[in-house]
């Protein structure tokens, strides 16, 4: 299946990482289920995907509220990340997005804007041998307001010295698309793993 891009020239491409460049969401979900299972905390798959782009500590804090739990946020976040790293050898790239990275690399600058930690993003991109394609990374903790707020995308655009209207955002979540729109950027939605398999 091909991604349909807007028909005009762009000055930069901004990519979400998990679920957009890296087909990592299924692995992240397994890591979450295992980490949260140690606290008897349920996390429905549909809810997990709808919260895509939410920083990891925010997810634990929100689940605490939702279930009336007192999970230690930092400990659960660290445990979840370590379980994800153990599964990194299984990580694959999203081919429909790789095609556009290959086509435009060296012609326009690229950035990653992610709700994941810098360590997690770098580990994923290094596993996929793609880290060197990106001019800048904007990760959790490096901006104040998470998606759907446009802050992360606007920060990346200013770091690349490209006007927001000349940036194209690749995103797999509704929150990410909303953030791109709020930043005044064009966007393309990357289908979820099951949608890509069906096509």
pLDDT per residue as tens digits for the range 132-145: 999 999 999 999 99
Number of structural domains in the chain = 2
CA dist 157 and 167 (Å) reads 7
pLDDT digits (tens, 9 = 90+) for 26-48: 999 999 999 999 999 999 999 99
Examine the domain organization and report whether 18 and 101 are in the same domain. Answer: yes
What's residue 131's pLDDT? 98
Contacts of 1 (CB under 8 A, 6+ apart): 96, 191, 196, 199
Out of 71, 88, 105, a domain closes at 88
* Domain boundary residue, one of 39, 58, 88: 88
Q: pLDDT under 70 in the chain at which residues?
A: 198-199
Residue 5 lies in a domain: no
Task: With beta carbons less than 8 A apart as the criterion, state whether 136 and 144 touch.
Answer: no
pLDDT at res. 193: 81
**What is the predicted pLDDT for the residue at 53?**
83
**C-alpha dihedral sign at 90, 102, 122, 180:** negative
- What are residue 120's phi and psi, to 5 degrees? -65, -45
Q: What is the pLDDT, as a whole number, of residue 14?
A: 98
Q: Report the distance separating Cα 172 and Cα 51, nearest Å.
A: 11
- CA separation (Å) from 82 to 67, 111, 153? 24, 25, 27
> Looking at the structure, do residues 123 and 83 belong to the same domain, yes or no?
no
State the residue range of the domain holding 43. Answer: 25-88
pLDDT score for 119 = 94
Q: What is the CATH number of the domain that holds 47?
A: 1.10.150
129 belongs to a structural domain: yes
The 3-state DSSP composition of the chain as helix, strand, coil percent (nearest 5) reads 50, 15, 40
């Amino acid at each position: 299946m091909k991604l349909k891009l807007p028909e005009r020239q762009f000055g930069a491409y901004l990519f979400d990482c998990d679920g957009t460049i890296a087909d990592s969401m299924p692995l992240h979900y397994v890591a979450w289920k295992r980490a949260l299972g140690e606290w008897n905390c349920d996390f429905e798959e549909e809810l997990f995907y709808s919260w895509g782009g939410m920083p990891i500590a925010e997810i634990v804090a929100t689940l605490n509220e939702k279930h009336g739990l007192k999970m230690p946020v930092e400990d659960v976040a660290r445990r979840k990340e370590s379980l994800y790293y153990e599964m990194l050898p299984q990580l694959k790239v999203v081919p429909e997005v790789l095609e556009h990275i290959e086509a435009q690399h060296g012609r326009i600058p690229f950035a990653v804007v992610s709700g994941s930690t810098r360590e997690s993003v770098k580990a994923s991109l290094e596993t996929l041998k793609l880290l060197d394609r990106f001019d800048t990374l904007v990760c959790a903790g490096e901006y104040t307001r998470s998606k759907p707020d446009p802050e992360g995308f606007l920060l990346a655009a200013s770091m690349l010295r490209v006007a927001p209207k000349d940036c194209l955002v690749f995103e797999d979540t509704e929150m990410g698309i909303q953030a791109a729109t709020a930043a005044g950027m064009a966007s393309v939605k990357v289908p979820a793993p099951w949608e890509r398999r069906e096509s």
